[in-house]
Amino acid sequence: MKQKQWVLKTRLFNESKDIENIQGLERNPYDKSTIQKIFTEDFIDKCTIESSNNNYRIIPEWQNLLKKKYFDNLIDNSKDDGKNNLKIINMDISKSILPIVKNLVKNDNVVASGNFIYPPTGYMGWHTNYKIPCKRLYITYATEDKKSFFRYIDPLSKEVITDYDDKGFTIREFNVTGRPPYFWHCVGSECMRLSFGYQIRLNNLKMNFQVGWGFTLYKIYTSHYEWTNTNY
């Protein structure tokens, strides 16, 4: 009798099952005093001087682009269709404070991502970041109180929530999922707003072993094995 040949394929993920836990936004989950020591006047000036203009311009009707109605009219809500109006901060500046951020979140597996300046009427349209599912941390500096905001749609209640920035610093943390329900969010500002984004990835990678017969074996290091039937 001919013995069946088993084929083993592997694929690495940056996420674990925990990423699929749907939860809202956490506001100021860490001590801001460490961040306040970094964001000196010289540091903020450096960010402003070493930023590229990208496509920034004054857009009087910018707030209309961030309303729920605009989100509902997106052609495909599974894609990141949000447009933006902002300046880009030099990535080297964000990387320079990366060791401090790692210590703040107690995780060495942190990567600098989006770093932007939102001048008056600056914004980033509705998007999900679904292509890179992980936990996200954003450190924001605003020159005025409640003149800029982070807006999101609660994945469970579908409620539109506008979280206004404090004058000075606001820290936000949330999960980005790779499948529905996505974490839809956008950003808008009527003042000068600096934003530093970081991806917080799990130290334990999940491996996906596809072993014939339509079964997949998931292994999370230091955890357990789990069989899943993929024939559906």
**Are residues 134 and 44 part of one domain?**
yes
**Are residues 88 and 54 part of one domain?**
yes
User: Which segments in the chain show pLDDT lower than 70?
Assistant: 1-23, 74-82, 203-232
Give the per-residue pLDDT at 211: 36
As for how many domains the chain has, the answer is 2
**Are residues 215 and 186 part of one domain?**
no
Give the per-residue pLDDT at 76: 59
Give the per-residue pLDDT at 83: 86
Report pLDDT digits (tens) over 68-78.
877 777 655 65
The residues, any chain, with a CB within 8 Å of residue 120's CB and separated by 6 or more, are 58, 189, 190, 191, 192
Give the per-residue pLDDT at 203: 60
Give the per-residue pLDDT at 71: 75
**Are residues 34 and 99 part of one domain?**
yes
Measured over the CA atoms of residue 33, residue 37, residue 38 and residue 43, the dihedral's sign is: positive
Strand 206-211 to strand 215-220: parallel, antiparallel, or no bridges (unpaired)?
Answer: antiparallel
Report how far apart, in Å, the C-alpha atoms of 3 and of each of 6, 204, 215 are: 9, 35, 18
Report pLDDT digits (tens) over 50-63.
999 877 999 999 99
Q: Give the global pTM.
A: 0.76
Burial class (CB in 10 A: 0-12, 13-18, 19+), 175: buried
Max Cα–Cα distance, the chain, nearest Å: 77
Percent of the chain topping pLDDT 70: 73
User: Which CATH number fits the domain that encloses residue 61?
Assistant: 2.60.120
Give the per-residue pLDDT at 206: 43
Strand 110-118 to strand 168-176: parallel, antiparallel, or no bridges (unpaired)?
Answer: unpaired
Residue 129 identity: N
**Are residues 101 and 35 part of one domain?**
yes
**Are residues 93 and 65 part of one domain?**
yes
The residues, any chain, with a CB within 8 Å of residue 64's CB and separated by 6 or more, are 70
In angstroms, rounded to a whole number, what is the distance separating the alpha carbons of residues 64 and 68?
9
Residue 95's domain comprises 23-200
